[in-house]
Amino acid sequence: MDNMKTGTTTIGIVNADGVVLASEHRATMGNFIAHKETQKVFRIDDNIGLTTAGLVGDAQVMARYLRAEVELYKLKRTAPMTVKSAATLTSNILRRGGGAYGYYYVGLIVGGYDKDGGHVFSLDAAGGSIPDNYISVGSGSPYAYGVLEDHYKKDITLDDSINLAIRALNAAMKRDSASGDGMDIVTITKDGYVEVSQEEILKRASRMGINVPRPN
């Protein structure tokens, strides 16, 4: 069950204060909805987060692996790792191979905040690492990108980027059968890694006329 393929929508958005990372909750096995409360956004450090798409087992291993390496870096350097360094480290891990098929069957977003501001990087299973102002990974990403392309601005505020993540996830959940069952959203700023409460997500969605399923 841990090695099931997951259809997914994950999102990373750079804003004036840092970044927003978001995902929905559904995990699938083909046409079967296997889980409705799957974690796809992981805290790596106070200033770095990770979103995951792909095999659940591989994704969970990557999150644990990266968290441990970032902690070792802090112990050795007595300073937090930059977001670019975390993305490069993750890229190198992916490139070396491993996972269920001899490589990690995942698509990742590494995002966070450091002395140079907010950053998000898209990483593929081959180790490619590409920075951008906004990123979506997973089966629902084409639908999310339509909303992100239409609404993103380079000076977008933290508040507006949370709302944009909700809009983009909602578009994906409406059209991608492998995405659904609620949302997880986190912010990473100079104040650290903060999870947006489910009550706050539902309140914001309601104001925008969006119906978000409550987690079971």
**Catalytic site residues?**
8
Amino acid (1-letter code) at residue 180 = G
Q: How far apart are CA 104 and CA 205, in angstroms?
A: 34
Q: What's the Cα-to-Cα distance from 20 to each of 54, 87, 96, 127, 137, rounded to whole Å?
A: 20, 16, 29, 23, 14
Q: How far apart are CA 208 and CA 163, in angstroms?
A: 8
Which of these, 132, 138, 108, lies nearest to 119 by C-alpha position?
A: 132
Q: Where are the alpha helices (DSSP H) in 30-140?
A: 56-77, 83-96
103 CB neighbour count, 10 Å cutoff: 16
Query: What kind and span of H or E run contains 190?
Result: none
Query: What kind and span of H or E run contains 44?
Result: strand 41-45
For residue 110, what are its two tokens?
A: 């590494």
